[in-house]
Amino acid sequence: MTLAWPHFLLLTGTTLLAMVFSLLPGVNAATLAALLIPFTFRWDPVTLLLVFGPLVGGATFMGSVSAILLNVPGNPPNAATLLDGHPLARQGQAMTALGCSAAASALGSTFGVFVLIALLPVMREAVLLFGPPEFLMLAVLGLTTVTAVRFGSMVKGLAAAGIGLLLSFVGQDPKTGELRYVFGCLALWEGLGMVPMLIGLFSVAEMLDLAASGRRRIADHEAFGAPAGSVREGVLSVFRNFGLFLRCSVLGTVVGIIPGMGGTVASFVAYGHAVQSAGADRARFGQGDIRGVIAPEAAHDAKDGGSLVPTLTFGIPGNEGTALLLVALGIHGIVPGRELMTGGLSLVFVLIWSLFFSNWITSLVGLAVARPLVRLTLAPTHRLVPCLLGAAVLAAFAAKGRGSDVVVALLAGVLGYVMKRHRWPRISLVLALVLGRMFELAFHQTLQLRSLGKVALAERPVFLALLAVTAFLIARPLLRGLRRGGGAA
Amino acid sequence: MRTTRRGFLRALAAAGIAAAVPRPAAAGPPCAALAGRTVRWIVPTAPGGGLDTTSRLLVPQLSRVLGTEIVIENVPGAGAIVGATRIRNAPPDGGTIGVLNAPALLVTNLIGETAAPNPASDFTILGRIARSRQVWATGGRSPLRTMDDVLERARRGPIVFAVEEVSTPGFLSAALAASLLHLDAAFVAGFSSGRDTALAAVRGDVDLVSFTFESILDRIESGDLRPLLQISATPVAEHPSLRGVPLLGGPGGLAAREAARLGQSVEEAQADAGAAEAILGAGRLVVAPLGLPPAVLSCLEEGLFAAASSPEFVRLASASERSVEATRGPAAVAELRVVRERAARFLPAVRAAVERARRP
Amino acid sequence: MKVRLDERSLVTLTFLAGAAGALALATRMGPVARRVPIVVAAVTTGLLLRQAWVDLGGRRAEAQAEADPARRAREAALLGSLAALVALLWAFGPAPAVTLFVLLYLRALGREGWPAALAFAAGIGVTLHAVFGTLLGLRLYDGRVALWLTGHWR
């Protein structure tokens, strides 16, 4: 059904539209979904799902294109890609980075889709396996990667993570509602928004660095007439690092299954894992290590398949796209749950294949259109900087429609610039920022449920498995150091 | 940190849905008192939440009924206090109206921790567009099959509720009804959304959750949740799953039954149950600043009722899982008067529940 | 010990002041609300003290960022431009603020001629209005000036 030519035309057309939206900072495919919903009233369910497949997560590679070329993430989850993707572009390896990103994106999405299909019979039970104790261990697991991504002084890395955690505590305490670190400012009651913080720490900070450096162009060399890397090399790099790709795809899928964690967590935790698992061979991370592109791309796109698990079984959206998918399904009287998973399974497969094909279309077409965009790296910075700063301002504003978010983004931009300038690891701060609130909430909830006798930690297999993995990851560098007879790594 | 970018996009979708509906004939003559003016409709939450989505479905209808342009303005912050304050402080000329989640503000006022506007005394109430009628529910695999099981279990230890936040109608419902039934209740707060909260009960991490019936109907029909108690004196809906589910209020309700069992005044218990239902049922109020001119007040009240009870609005709301129930201003005011009189009786119970929820 | 107070040390000291302040504030929170922040703030303060000792004593393994007067001047100009952007935002709302910011930046810092600067700024303004204003329905012109002129600011 999906491969009939009118359906394929529809799928391709929507994918192309989604790609345009994903490329622009401040808007994404979910924006397109919101705009299309009024037109879906008279559509049949198959058409609806063919259109929403790309909008749920089929065009995310395009956000990576602006991250790699311009150091400005198209969407917050793409921020992890620029850490090594943009340095590669500056070194004249833009097409290598883009080829790698496209391949990891498409293959990661494929992995997520196949896991989703494999989980179909047990989707409900898979979601029910994760409660506050499991969220706590996942947050701890993610935070352990902080020690790996420090790129230098361990003290600085841990301190940056501490600062990130403290920033995550701003606002109402998730358990008691008590206000913390708001200084009487009502705009801070709900905490520092993730979107403005990431826009500031990466987009604004990078633009400030570009302007302050006095560089006339993004690229460090003239790329006219010279190759900007090799797509083939980029694609092959995914297969050369297939173990890393698989692990990050698994990570992304698991994160996707857990309601509320999102693509940003998946990308950054995967990046942290890539550095952590590199062991002694981590010197090039942050300066153009291709593994720093593979990890977040694979995780971010594998997450899309995973995020459909809670959406289709319990109606819990994993991201903006799935939230709007639920709105569209509701209009057509399609209710997630047992009924959809039994009597409506053919519709579920329409959505799955739509997601699958749209990711491949995006990667292939995206690579073709990205080549001319590489020339943007030669655009004069004095023109690029104000335009991209302006786009960042609007992106921060568009999140909640509040001017205070723009101020947060600009202040975060100054912080990010200072950190970059004086070699404080932003990635450690961001990891702690994205995980801090979840960690604290899950910590309190787990303690409370345990004291009320509602959870027995020893009887929760997923919790125990995550505890074992975390312990191993913490112990491994210590054991390695002991074996070498020197200090810890 | 929660991003409400998702919420903004849902709001966009809701606005689009409303715009796509064929326009009905005008329900009545335009409001002369507002002729040629633009009215601001304040939503005290970020785009995309329940208040915002309902507003975006209602405002186009209201605009057509009144014959005047109405512009939605989101004024989020401080748990809706910023937006509520903006409405309260606006000039009383009909140029600024808005929508409030009354139970949340009532709780904040009851526990007196923050200087929040009081829906019962600080606004002109134009009407109610939705009433919160809660049910208690447990997981489908829970050993608690009936309220008798719950009452029996409560004698051995606290009944554990999952709630999103301390100020939600779900928390208030659990706190008030638990105090009326003399239940020892513990609250686990901080879940990220209503569905996430319900999932805690499905998983068995908690004993009970409290939600509006419509919002968990799909989970009930799939067997993931089972309703145990209707926080009402009359059935909250006509549905097979509610057959045999006891009511909290009324002469045969659980509150009266427990009062009789404990040798306390049954009439007082029924009155308290009615007041609890009124507090929860305060629901979503459309309000304006105090001191509106009579012509403007009358026009807005009638126009709001016409828009909120229009078939198009009801159908759109139903399509996005929102239960709506239009009530005229005077009737809503009369119910809130009951709330003001009785609210003081609940103050210790609500304070104790909040303390319990915040306990380490 | 010779104390080396340079830009890097000042940054560390600023972070240290922030963490110490967070610790002090955490001690005044309720018992549940402060449980995690107090531990995190204490540990972070300790780490930053250690780093400050390293930086002030000049014992650092990493290369120092070069002190370049031209860069300092550009940084100061950029900070000023951001402050101007915030002021424009407050006064005029996002769309006019960004449009004016682009214009002023291109002229003052980018040394573009008026025609190019005006063309760029106009293009940005039209795009912002089309995408964020018309398509997404965001309110882009709600600066204090507009609100005051329409009587909505009090």
pLDDT digits (tens, 9 = 90+) for B231-262: 999 998 889 999 999 999 999 899 999 999 99
pLDDT greater at residue A150 or residue A33? A33
In the sheet that B69-74 helps form, which strands lie side by side, from edge to edge? B69-74, B38-43, B96-101, B284-288, B124-130, B327-328
Neighbouring chains of B at 3+ CB pairs under 8 Å are A, C
Neighbouring chains of C at 3+ CB pairs under 8 Å are A, B
Residues A391-407: what's their mean pLDDT?
81
* CA distance readout (Å), A185 to B45, B145, C139: 16, 47, 22
Neighbouring residues of A481: CB distance < 8 A, sequence distance ≥ 6: A487, A488, A489
Q: What local confidence, expressed as pLDDT, does residue A5 receive?
A: 73
Q: What local confidence, expressed as pLDDT, does residue B26 receive?
A: 43
Would the pLDDT of A91 be above 70? yes
Would you say the C-alpha torsion A336, A339, A341, A346 has a positive or negative sign?
A: negative
Contact between C51 and A35 using a beta-carbon 8 Å cutoff: no
Q: What local confidence, expressed as pLDDT, does residue A484 receive?
A: 65
The Cα–Cα gap between B153 and A25 comes to 54
Would the pLDDT of A441 be above 70? yes
Q: Sorting pLDDT into bands at 50, 70 and 90, what band is A26?
A: low
CB–CB of A104/A297 below 8 Å? yes
Q: What local confidence, expressed as pLDDT, does residue A322 receive?
A: 80
Would the pLDDT of C48 be above 70? yes
- Spell out the alpha helix ranges (H) of A145-241: 154-168, 194-198, 205-213, 231-240
Contact between C132 and A26 using a beta-carbon 8 Å cutoff: yes
Residue of A nearest to C31 (CA): A176
Would the pLDDT of A45 be above 90? no
Q: Sorting pLDDT into bands at 50, 70 and 90, what band is A90?
A: confident
Q: What local confidence, expressed as pLDDT, does residue A75 receive?
A: 78
The Cα–Cα gap between B313 and B308 comes to 6
pLDDT digits (tens, 9 = 90+) for A111-140: 999 998 998 888 888 888 889 999 899 888
Computed over every residue of chain A, the mean pLDDT equals 84
CB–CB of A298/A82 below 8 Å? no
Residue of B nearest to C34 (CA): B360
In chain B, which residues have their Cβ closer than 8 Å to the Cβ of C30?
Answer: 358
Contact between A259 and B20 using a beta-carbon 8 Å cutoff: no
Q: What local confidence, expressed as pLDDT, does residue A224 receive?
A: 42
In chain A, which residues have their Cβ closer than 8 Å to the Cβ of B83?
Answer: none
Closest chain B C-alpha to C96 CA, distance in angstroms: 19
Closest CA to B87 of B40, B49, B120: B40
In chain C, which residues have their Cβ closer than 8 Å to the Cβ of A420?
Answer: none
Q: What local confidence, expressed as pLDDT, does residue A279 receive?
A: 78
Contact between A422 and C111 using a beta-carbon 8 Å cutoff: no
Task: Mean pLDDT check: name the lowest of A294-303, A352-361, B104-113, B247-256.
Answer: B104-113
Would the pLDDT of B172 be above 90? no
Q: Sorting pLDDT into bands at 50, 70 and 90, what band is C66?
A: low
pLDDT digits (tens, 9 = 90+) for B58-77: 998 999 899 888 988 878 76
pLDDT greater at residue B178 or residue A339? B178
Chain-centre distance for alpha carbon B167:
11
- First and final C-alpha spacing in chain A: 55
In chain C, which residues have their Cβ closer than 8 Å to the Cβ of B73?
Answer: 139
The Cα–Cα gap between A371 and A439 comes to 41
Q: Assess A178–C contact: CB distance below 8 Å, yes or no.
A: yes
Residue A271, both tokens: 């990046």
Q: What local confidence, expressed as pLDDT, does residue B25 receive?
A: 39
Closest chain B C-alpha to A372 CA, distance in angstroms: 31
* CA distance readout (Å), C131 to A319, B20, B159, C128: 22, 20, 51, 5
Residues B260-278: what's their mean pLDDT?
88
pLDDT greater at residue C135 or residue A390? A390
Closest chain A C-alpha to C56 CA, distance in angstroms: 14
Residues C45-70: what's their mean pLDDT?
78
Residue B215, both tokens: 């919002």
| Residue type for position A397 | F
Residues C30-59: what's their mean pLDDT?
90
Q: What local confidence, expressed as pLDDT, does residue B7 receive?
A: 56
Q: What local confidence, expressed as pLDDT, does residue B4 receive?
A: 47
Residue A112, both tokens: 């997520």
What is residue B208's DSSP assignment? B
Q: What local confidence, expressed as pLDDT, does residue C2 receive?
A: 66
Q: What local confidence, expressed as pLDDT, does residue A81 receive?
A: 92
Would the pLDDT of A40 be above 80? no
Instruction: Count CB pairs under 8 A between chains A and C.
Output: 158
Q: Sorting pLDDT into bands at 50, 70 and 90, what band is B24?
A: very low
Chain-centre distance for alpha carbon B300:
22
CB–CB of A136/A437 below 8 Å? no
pLDDT greater at residue A397 or residue A208? A208
The Cα–Cα gap between C15 and A161 comes to 12
Q: What local confidence, expressed as pLDDT, does residue A260 receive?
A: 66
Contact between B81 and A186 using a beta-carbon 8 Å cutoff: yes
Residue of A nearest to B322 (CA): A330
Q: Assess A165–C contact: CB distance below 8 Å, yes or no.
A: yes
- Can you count the helices (H) and strands (E) in chain A? 22, 2
Neighbouring residues of C67: CB distance < 8 A, sequence distance ≥ 6: C6, C7
In chain A, which residues have their Cβ closer than 8 Å to the Cβ of C71?
Answer: 212-214
- Which of A29-33, A42-46, B17-21, C101-105 has the highest average model confidence (pLDDT)? C101-105
Closest CA to C33 of A450, A399, B359: B359
Closest CA to A55 of A75, A31, A23, A25: A31
The residue with tokens 């100061």 is: C76
Q: What local confidence, expressed as pLDDT, does residue C154 receive?
A: 42
In chain A, which residues have their Cβ closer than 8 Å to the Cβ of C78?
Answer: 208, 211-212
Q: Assess B40–C contact: CB distance below 8 Å, yes or no.
A: yes
pLDDT greater at residue A23 or residue B250? B250
pLDDT greater at residue A325 or residue B229? B229
pLDDT digits (tens, 9 = 90+) for B287-301: 999 999 998 999 999
Would the pLDDT of B8 be above 80? no
Q: Sorting pLDDT into bands at 50, 70 and 90, what band is B312?
A: confident
Task: Mean pLDDT check: name the lowest of A249-263, A431-445, B312-326.
Answer: B312-326
Computed over every residue of chain C, the mean pLDDT equals 84
pLDDT digits (tens, 9 = 90+) for A217-274: 776 655 444 556 888 999 999 999 999 999 999 999 988 887 767 788 889 889 989 9
pLDDT greater at residue B77 or residue B152? B152
The Cα–Cα gap between A411 and A413 comes to 5
Task: Mean pLDDT check: name the lowest of A15-29, B242-256, B324-338, C35-49.
Answer: A15-29
pLDDT digits (tens, 9 = 90+) for B333-349: 887 777 777 777 777 88
Q: Sorting pLDDT into bands at 50, 70 and 90, what band is A98?
A: very high
